[in-house]
Amino acid sequence: MAPKAKTIPEEADTVALAQVDKSDMSRKDWRAHMKAMGDAEGFYEDIGDEHTALFVRRGATLIVTFENLDHVYENSESRMPWGFNFVEDRGWSFLGMMAHTWSWYRDESIYDFFDRLRDEGFFESFDKVVFYGASMGAYAACAFSSAAPKSTVIAISPQATLDRQIASWETRYKKAWRRDYTTRYGYAPEMTSAAENVYLFYDPTEALDAMHASLFQGPNVQKFKCRYLGHRIASFWISLGLLKPIIQDCVDGTLTEPKFYERMRARRESMRYKRELLGRVQSRGRHDLVVRLCEYVLAQNRGPKFRQALKAAKAKLKI
Answer whether residue 3 is part of any domain: no
Cα(first)–Cα(last) distance of the chain, in Å? 73
Query: How many domains in the chain?
Result: 2
- 294 and 252 share one domain: no
- 46 and 179 share one domain: yes
What local confidence, expressed as pLDDT, does residue 247 receive?
Answer: 95
DSSP 205-220: TSHHHHHHHHT--STT
- 61 and 207 share one domain: yes
What local confidence, expressed as pLDDT, does residue 26 receive?
Answer: 64
Answer whether residue 4 is part of any domain: no
Answer whether residue 302 is part of any domain: yes
Answer whether residue 254 is part of any domain: yes
- 288 and 180 share one domain: no
Per-residue pLDDT of the chain (319 residues; tens, 9 = 90+): 444 433 333 333 333 334 444 445 566 777 787 888 888 889 999 999 999 999 999 999 999 999 876 555 454 555 566 667 788 889 999 999 999 899 999 999 999 999 999 999 999 999 999 999 999 999 999 999 999 999 999 999 999 999 999 999 999 999 999 999 999 999 999 999 999 999 999 999 999 999 999 999 999 999 999 999 999 999 899 889 999 999 999 999 999 999 999 999 998 888 888 988 999 899 999 999 999 999 999 998 888 999 999 999 999 998 8
The alpha carbon of residue 1 and the mean position of all alpha carbons in its chain are separated, in whole angstroms, by 28
Instruction: State which H helix or E strand residue 239 sits in.
Output: helix 233-240
DSSP 268-309: GG-HHHHHHHHHHHHHTT-HHHHHHHHHHHHTTS--HHHHHH
Check which CATH number belongs to the domain holding 241 and give it.
Answer: 3.40.50.1820
The reported pTM is: 0.85
Asked if 122 and 145 touch (Cβ cutoff 8 Å), the reply is: no
What local confidence, expressed as pLDDT, does residue 168 receive?
Answer: 97
- 249 and 312 share one domain: no
- 253 and 281 share one domain: no
Distance (Å, whole) CA 20 – CA 85: 13
Helix ranges (DSSP H) in 19-126? 27-41, 69-75, 84-89, 108-119
What local confidence, expressed as pLDDT, does residue 7 receive?
Answer: 33
Residue 82 corresponds to which amino acid? W
| DSSP strand pairing (51-56 vs 93-99) | antiparallel
| DSSP strand pairing (152-156 vs 197-202) | parallel
Answer whether residue 1 is part of any domain: no
User: 10 Å Cβ neighbour count for 10?
Assistant: 8
Name residue 247's beta-bridge partners.
none
The number of residues making up the chain comes to 319
- 231 and 93 share one domain: yes
- 80 and 227 share one domain: yes
Answer whether residue 177 is part of any domain: yes
Distance (Å, whole) CA 318 – CA 222: 46
Answer whether residue 255 is part of any domain: yes
What local confidence, expressed as pLDDT, does residue 70 receive?
Answer: 57
Answer whether residue 2 is part of any domain: no
What local confidence, expressed as pLDDT, does residue 269 receive?
Answer: 84
- 97 and 211 share one domain: yes
Could you tell me the residue range of the domain that residue 234 belongs to? 11-266
- 248 and 224 share one domain: yes
- 111 and 127 share one domain: yes
Asked if 224 and 200 touch (Cβ cutoff 8 Å), the reply is: yes
- 260 and 287 share one domain: no
